[in-house]
Amino acid sequence: MYDFQTVLQRRGSNSVKWDVSEQELPLNLADMDFTTAPEIIAALQQKVASGVFGYEEIPPTYYQAVADWYEQEHGCRPDTDWLVFATGVVPALSSLVRRLSHPGDNIVVQPPVYNIFYHSIENNGRHTLANNLIYQTDHYEIDFPLLKQQLAQPLTTLMILCNPQNPSGQIWTYEQLKQIVTLCQQFQVTLISDEIHGDLTLNSQQYTPIFSLPDTLIQSTIALVSPSKTFNLAALHAASVIVPNAALRQQVLRALNNDELAEPNLTAVPGTIAAYTKGRPWLKALKQQLQANYQLVADYLQHNLPEIKLIHGGASYLLWLDCSAFKIPAAKLAQQLQESVGLLLSDGSLYRGNGADFLRLNMACPPAILKVALQRLVQGLLQIVSQK
């Protein structure tokens, strides 16, 4: 019923990902080469057809749709009073960094992690405190003794968690989350949990929203969620900030209003409501396609280049390719793949931690594109290694 096979022509469409030369194939940036759910397109068409695009407020039906989605999709319902609209996860994150910490403060993150976290921290004059994840052949573990020391430092005021993790796709367990939150609470550190990849768990796995933990543990937590990754709606510029504690919520509201991030554009409200109320069948079909794509990549690499170890923690369409066997830094691999076979993958060192051994590949594209990309990857890597 839904089409995940047609190769879309995205060149010349203001796409950041596809604004590359004709022979280049971009599997780097995190948006999908699929059209969004037809139910969302219909809602946006209806909005545009109204022709009235004045200033908008957030209606109760928006908050209802977000809360219903979390209840039905993730088995826990945030109180609608906890929800605050924002024009994106990253803008909200940067705004919260400015409001909830001071220049010179420490902010804990867990590399390798979404590179824009570093921009939000360092471009605002704060220090990144790296709680590097411990790589264990096919997944990452959290260094809790180090985390405790880092949270205890007098200048540490915030921690930014990524659950599920970009780039590894790892889903943190309930017990791990409980331990993180308990430590944050012990040292009065506010925890911001970026859960933008949370809807994209594959193979019937579940992720645990931070606000589903016991009430006593979530009073200093803030979750950031959005339909933008789930339904390929990045340009919708709509996100929700979930803040169980009323006093902290006031701070969040002030931050977002101060930075003028609280008003929706014409697509944000109808797009989000349609996604959360009508998007479930499309998401189910998308996940099946992503699982098939994962298998395609796994089989192809196994047969043609088993030196690459494929890491996928269970969520998102991002694959984390362990290229350590080649003993060439990822920055060089990424650059040479671009130059030799026109394949664009993300250089893992952008995410810091042990990322210099990895390339990140976005598999959310029609299989026809993925097959070409895999051929180029193998051809390019063999060429690079033979020239070493």
Ligand X SMILES: Cc1ncc(COP(=O)(O)O)c(C=O)c1O
- Output 162 or 241, the one with its CB closest to ligand X: 162
Q: How far is the CB of 82 from ligand X (least distance, A)?
A: 19
Nearer to ligand X, 91 or 329 (CB): 91
User: 264 or 380: whose CB is closer to ligand X?
Assistant: 264
State yes or no: residue 207 binds ligand X (CB under 6 A): no
30 binds ligand X (CB under 6 A): yes
Among 33, 73, 194, 357, binds ligand X (CB under 6 A): 194
Q: Assess contact for 128 and 109: CB atoms under 8 A.
A: yes
φ/ψ bin of 20: left (φ > 0), alpha (ψ from -120 to 50), beta (otherwise)? beta
Region 63-102 residues binding ligand X, contact defined as CB under 6 A: 88-90
- Between residues 30 and 373, which has the closer beta carbon with respect to ligand X? 30
Residue number, 19 or 148, with CB nearest to ligand X: 19
In the complex, what is the shortest distance from the CB of residue 330 to ligand X, in angstroms, rounded to a whole number?
Answer: 18
Cα–Cα distance measured from residue 56 to residue 212, given in angstroms and rounded to the nearest whole number: 31
DSSP state of 350: G
Could you say whether residue 362 binds ligand X (CB under 6 A)?
A: no
Neighbouring residues of 368: CB distance < 8 A, sequence distance ≥ 6: 5, 7
Contact 36, 233 (CB under 8 A): yes
Contact with ligand X (CB under 6 A) among 163, 228, 240, 349: 228
Angle at 31 between CA 120 and CA 180, to 5 degrees: 45
Q: Where are the alpha helices (DSSP H) in 13-143?
A: 38-50, 60-74, 89-100, 116-122
With CB under 6 A as the contact rule, the residue among 62, 114, 276, 317 that binds ligand X is: 114
Contact residue for ligand X among 58, 162, 225, 286 (CB under 6 A): 162
Minimum distance from residue 372 beta carbon to ligand X (Å)? 23
Q: What are the structure tokens assigned to 246, written together?
A: 């009323």
Closest separation between CB of residue 386 and ligand X, Å? 34
Pick one of 32, 196, 290, 333: the residue that binds ligand X (CB under 6 A): 196
- Contacting ligand X (CB under 6 A), which of 166, 168, 170, 193? 166
Among 158, 180, 192, 239, binds ligand X (CB under 6 A): 239
Contact 252, 243 (CB under 8 A): yes
Greatest CA span in the chain, whole angstroms?
61
Least spacing, CB of residue 114 vs ligand X, in Å: 4
Of 158, 132, 130, 153, the closest CA to residue 143 belongs to: 132
| Rounded distance between C-alpha atoms, residue 97 and residue 224, angstroms | 13
Q: How many residues bind ligand X (CB under 6 A)?
A: 13
Q: Which of 185, 170, 133 has the alpha carbon at shortest distance from 313? A: 170
Note whether 373 binds ligand X by CB under 6 A.
no
Is residue 168 a contact partner of residue 320, using CB atoms and an 8 Å limit? yes
Please tell me whether residue 276 binds ligand X under the rule CB under 6 A.
Answer: no
Stretches 226-234, 250-258, 276-284, 326-334: which one binds ligand X (CB under 6 A)? 226-234
346 alpha carbon, distance to own chain's centre: 14
Determine, following the binding rule CB under 6 A, whether residue 111 of this chain makes contact with ligand X: no
* Binding-site member from 226, 240, 267, 349 for ligand X (CB under 6 A): 226
User: Does residue 221 interact with ligand X by CB under 6 A?
Assistant: no
Helix axes 268-278, 38-50, angle to 10 degrees: 150
Q: How far is the CB of 119 from ligand X (least distance, A)?
A: 11
Determine contact, residues 142/170, Cβ cutoff 8 Å.
no
Tell the smallest beta-carbon distance from residue 226 to ligand X (Å).
Answer: 5
Determine the 3-state secondary structure of 360 from DSSP.
strand
Radius of gyration of the chain measured on its C-alpha atoms: 21
Cα end-to-end span (Å), the chain: 48
Q: Please state the closest distance from residue 89 (CB atom) to ligand X, in A.
A: 3
Per CB under 6 A, residues contacting ligand X are 30, 88-90, 114, 162, 166, 194, 196, 226, 228, 234, 239
